[in-house]
Amino acid sequence: MATSLKNLSSYDAANVPDASDMRFAIVVAEWNHEITFALRDGAVNTLLKHGADEGNILVDYVPGTFELTAGARAFAQTGKADAIIVLGCVIQGETRHFDFICNGVTQGITQLNTQYDIPFIFGVLTTDNLQQAIDRAGGKHGNKGDEAAITAIKMAALFKRVI
């Protein structure tokens, strides 16, 4: 969570496992693409920075944030990833649509985490306005994509150790 006390891109690199033997899938929502593509770039660059092979980072797209769950499940079924990162952005509007999308994708990703023996990383911004999203997609609060990639590496390492 980005607050005045925490930047999404700040972490201790010494506490991040080597990702050279890990495979990642990233599912990106095309809706709010100016934000989600910045999250994607942050995640990919962070994975590469920590040793992931470019050929072991699979990226694909779904139309919107609600579809992230189905896209992530499709990747899980291939068995080609040690962790799956979902990246989306939902910005509050004038209707309750925001609540339904946020609740649906949160529940969907949570359910996938209980159904598969790989971690699904929630990299979805749920903001009140476009500026908050910009601030969390490489702006003044860092990049949620960076945070999601670090979480994916750490969780993939955990699963390799215990499963």
- Domain-embedded: residue 15: no
Residue-range definition of the domain harbouring residue 28: 21-141
Q: Which two tokens stand for residue 111?
A: 């359910």
* Selection from 59, 87, 151 nearest residue 159 by Cα: 151
- Domain-embedded: residue 10: no
Q: Could you read off the pLDDT of 57-79 as tens digits, one per residue?
A: 999 999 999 999 999 999 999 99
- Domain-embedded: residue 162: no
- Domain-embedded: residue 13: no
pLDDT at res. 111: 98
- Domain-embedded: residue 125: yes
* Residue 94 banded pLDDT, cuts 50, 70, 90: confident
Q: Which two tokens stand for residue 46?
A: 């962070």
Q: Residues 33, 50, 97, 141: which is the catalytic one?
A: 97
Beta carbons of 52 and 22 less than 8 angstroms apart: yes
- Domain-embedded: residue 111: yes
- Domain-embedded: residue 4: no
* Selection from 120, 137, 123 nearest residue 42 by Cα: 137
- If one counts the domains in the chain, the total is 1
Contacts of residue 41, defined as CB under 8 A and 6 or more positions apart, other chains included, come to 138, 145
**Catalytic residue at 97?**
yes
Find the CATH number of the domain harbouring 40: 3.40.50.960
- Say how far apart CA 143 and CA 49 lie, in whole Å: 15
The pTM (predicted TM-score) of the whole model is: 0.95
Tell me how long the chain is. 163
